Chains A and B, each alone.
Chain A
Amino acid sequence: MASSCTKWILWGLLACPLAAAAVEAGSPAPKITAARLNEPGNLVFAELRGQVVYVDFWASWCVPCVRSMPALRTLYGKYRERGFVVIGVNKDMEASERERFLRRFPVSFPLVLDADDAVAKAFAVKTMPSGYLIDRAGVVRQVHQGFTVETEQALAKQIEVLLQDKP
């Protein structure tokens, strides 16, 4: 009886939450909803179908984000008319930190909040920043972890290729 009880307790303790499946190139983009940061209402990711989407996870404490945010702003400005959109998912703990960062590096693309970590968990984010380039059909085509000058150049080429697919 005692050993049976111990066995159950052990199984209970060792039942760690399973790691979410990583979102990789070829995976369907998670269908989730997030609260918008710079305007009222929610952003429904599924409604972005038909556009080329770059979902970027960023935070004020993330050093490469100092490079990525202005670069994404430039890419968004360059390609938005052709059907490209950037969604910035903020992962700051304090609103004041996020606001200070945005005053320094203002962006024009839509930003969303992720207070309950649902978006980060759905994408199984492995590092900060992480970016997911999604094609018009809603399939993740590239995953970028970190952000360098090379990332920016590669991303511009990938966006050009994906924008050539007609919706």
Chain B
Amino acid sequence: MSRGCALLLVALALTGCATVEPWQRGYLAKPAMALEPAPGMAKALDKTYAAKEAASGGGAVGGGGCGCN
């Protein structure tokens, strides 16, 4: 019985898998699916963060802590 329950759980887990058909991959190409949807804004925030925290290099932004470069 416990073996049956285990199999049932595995089967339930398998049904959670979804297949994305080749023609459905347009959804993955949408800007909302990007790791960073607004790279320019992210860079500006990184720069501000590095300036305010005096954490040069921490945000992968060059320059010192003055926020002027």
Complexed CA–CA distance, A97 and B14 (Å): 34
19 contacts between A and B (CB under 8 A): A2-B1, A3-B4, A6-B8, A7-B4, A10-B7, A10-B11, A13-B12, A14-B14, A57-B23, A61-B26, A61-B29, A91-B26, A92-B26, A114-B23, A117-B21, A120-B23, A125-B21, A128-B23, A130-B22
The answer to the question of A22 belonging to the interface, with a C-beta cut-off of 8 Å to chain B, is no
The answer to the question of B5 belonging to the interface, with a C-beta cut-off of 8 Å to chain A, is yes
Number of interface residues of B (CB under 8 A): 16
User: Could you mark each residue 1-45 of chain B with 1 if its beta carbon is under 8 Å from any beta carbon of chain A, else 0?
Assistant: 100110110011011000001110111010000000000000000
Minimal beta-carbon separation of B53 from chain A (angstroms): 39
Number of interface residues of A (CB under 8 A): 25
B7:A125 contact, CB within 8 angstroms? no
